[in-house]
Amino acid sequence: MNEIINIILSVLSISLVSAIALASLYYGGYVFEGENATQNVFVNRVKRKIFNKNIHKLHNRKRKTSKR
């Protein structure tokens, strides 16, 4: 009975570690730096995406006006 419990615990711990590693890769490796670090990185990533979209819009608008 104890062997079965040990096997289950080891599998759970391995899966937890792998989940943390995947999360750190996804969020840019800031998972281990406090609780708010992942949230801040995610927010910054979303802001950067919005910012890049706006830059592309401006760039395309400039192109269109220069052709006229």
- The residue that leads in pLDDT, 4 or 60, is 4
Residue 27 CB partners (closer than 8 Å, separation 6+): 38, 41, 42
Across the chain, which distance is largest between two alpha carbons, in Å? 80
Q: What is the DSSP string of 2-15?
A: HHHHHHHHHHHHHH
Predicted local confidence at residue 30, as pLDDT: 53
Whether the Cβ atoms of residue 41 and residue 28 lie closer than 8 Å to each other? yes
Start-end of H helices in the chain? 2-26, 36-67
Predicted local confidence at residue 45, as pLDDT: 72
Domain boundaries, the chain: 2-67
**pTM listed for this prediction:** 0.32
pLDDT in tens, 11-58: 888 887 777 777 766 665 554 555 555 566 667 777 777 776 666 666
pLDDT in tens, 19-29: 777 776 666 55
